[in-house]
Amino acid sequence: MNRLRRVLEFFVSTEKSLPADPQTHKTYLVIALALVTLPFFLSCPAPGKEGLAFLGLHLPGVCPSQRLFGVTCPGCGLTRAFVLIAHGHFRDSLEFNRMGVPLYLFFACQVVFRACVLRRPQTARVPFLINVNHYSALAMIALLLLNWFASLLS
């Protein structure tokens, strides 16, 4: 019962904070920047084919869950969805993963947020921004899992 109480307190606690060290924010910035910019250098093959192309080289599909167990994971299709979003094909990205657009926007917002925190560290102490960052991350995780469950049921 104590574990459940601690988990619930984590989600509803008003005493949230961001890491104080700039290295953590730099790491998040680099990861988010990579997730937002690298899809511009990739391209999707023709519909029905698996994998991606990077500067003309064919890259195979790499989802271990799909290959080993024959079951999709919550992130299946996100790379191809991000590539299509980066190239302006928003509607086509929904075919691979319906969470592609919201997650891509989340990571784009993380680039801006982490850059702001690095430029002005006092930004990391604004309760509103801390809560928005925290709850938007939780919402993305929840929506990703709900989308996965919905795809498994259909």
Tens digits of per-residue pLDDT, 48-58? 566 677 777 76
Residue 15 lies in a domain: no
Expressed as residue numbers, the domain containing 46 is 20-149
> pTM, whole model, 2 decimals?
0.81
The torsion angles phi and psi of 52, rounded to 5 degrees, stand at -140, 170
Higher pLDDT, 5 or 33: 33
Would you say residue 5 lies in a domain?
no
What value does the mean pLDDT take over residues 144-150?
A: 93
Task: Say what the pLDDT of residue 62 is.
Answer: 72
On the question of pLDDT at 11 being above 90, the answer is: no
User: Is there a domain that residue 3 lies in?
Assistant: no
154 or 46: which leads in pLDDT: 154
Confidence band (pLDDT; 50, 70, 90) for 69? confident
DSSP string, 114-135: HHHHHH-GGGGG-HHHHHHHHH
Specify the number of domains making up the chain: 1
CA 135, chain centre distance (Å)? 14
Tallying the residues shown for the chain, one arrives at: 154
- The helix (H) or strand (E) run that includes residue 52 is strand 52-54
Q: Is residue 135 assigned to a domain?
A: yes
Whether 75 shows a pLDDT value over 60: the answer reads yes
